[in-house]
Amino acid sequence: MQHIHFKKILLPVDFSSTSLKSFQHVKWLAQKFFSEVTLIHIRETLPHVSLFPSLYQPVVDFDNEYKKFAMKKLEELRKELIDSGIAIVHTQYMEGSIAQCINDYATDEKIDIVVMGTHGSKGITEFFIGSNAFKVVNLVDLPVLSINDKKEFSPYQHIVAPLDDSKYSRAKFPYVAELAAILSANVEILYPEILDAHLKQTLDNHLHQVTGFLDKKGVKYTIKMVEGNFAHEIIKFAEYTNADLIVMMSETEMTISKMLLGSQAQEIVNHSKVPVITLHPEDKGALMEIFG
């Protein structure tokens, strides 16, 4: 069963430094996986426009000029991808909610993965800007690769994969194994210190199943236990070891011990300098059958 489907990549572009950094990742991925790419720019509709239409007086000339400018910039990026050897590149302009437009387009066009920047802002600006990536993660039922502009692009040779005692935490590893095999990458399995004997036994069983699976697939890996808040430690470890990618499930990875990923997934997506891919496997049941 093949789990890596990156044949159609969607890249939302707002022409910021972060989205242009994401562009470099998309170029590399499309070359690796012979992908078709769509560059999409979304002019976000302000809430008051729909709530109080009588108060909104559209400036037609400005709207037209804005769209022309956006399409011109998209075409420049499209040409760069074509010149790099990517055969099929589309451009798209939409207006509306960023997350909803991405979801609608991805669904209609059967996109395989969304790659988008996260500004990693703090304070009130994070609500309006930085949270868009996490909104997309929650809304779009397919893999989302989130890119922060604080780290220079590098090929994905060192992958960090968190493992906890939650039911579906293991379901990411068929994806991780395929990705590692395709890219000749090493995998670092991070797991939390758990003091409760029953929960620790569950986690030990998960770890045994996952390492056995990776051994069968011939994937090189190391394992490391970390103490403290798991989400914080994932970010710190990935940055300290200069990892290239964090892979986690979009499903809430939260154990009974309440110290793990679930409640802090937004922090990882928004603030990790290392790219983060969140997976929405449609075949969780089939994936979990691998582990019994």
- Per-residue pLDDT tens over the stretch 71-100: 999 999 999 999 999 999 999 999 998 899
Which pTM value belongs to this model?
0.87
- 179 and 134 in a common domain: no
Which phi and psi (to 5°) does residue 228 adopt?
95, -160
State the residue range of the domain holding 17: 8-147
pLDDT > 50? residue 290: yes
Record the tokens describing residue 131, joined without a space.
């949270």
How many folded domains does the chain comprise? 2
Question: What are 28-44's pLDDT values in tens digits?
Answer: 999 999 999 999 999 88
User: Domain containing 176 — which CATH number?
Assistant: 3.40.50.620
Q: Which of 127, 147, 167 is the last residue of a domain?
A: 147
Residue 58 and residue 65: Cα distance in Å, rounded? Answer: 13
- 162 and 129 in a common domain: no
- Of 140-149, 205-214, 259-268, 273-282, which gets the smallest average pLDDT? 259-268
- 68 and 31 in a common domain: yes
Over residues 144-153, the mean pLDDT reads 90
Per-residue pLDDT, 266: 74
Per-residue pLDDT, 2: 63
In whole numbers, what is the pLDDT of the chain averaged over residues?
84
- The model's confidence at residue 119, banded by pLDDT at 50, 70 and 90, is low
Record the tokens describing residue 135, joined without a space.
């909104």
79 burial type by CB count under 10 A (0-12 exposed, 13-18 middle, 19+ buried)? exposed
- 270 and 237 in a common domain: yes
pLDDT > 90? residue 144: yes
Longest dimension (CA), the chain: 67
Over residues 272-291, the mean pLDDT reads 75
β-pairing, 113-117 vs 221-226, is unpaired
Higher-confidence residue of 129 and 214: namely 214
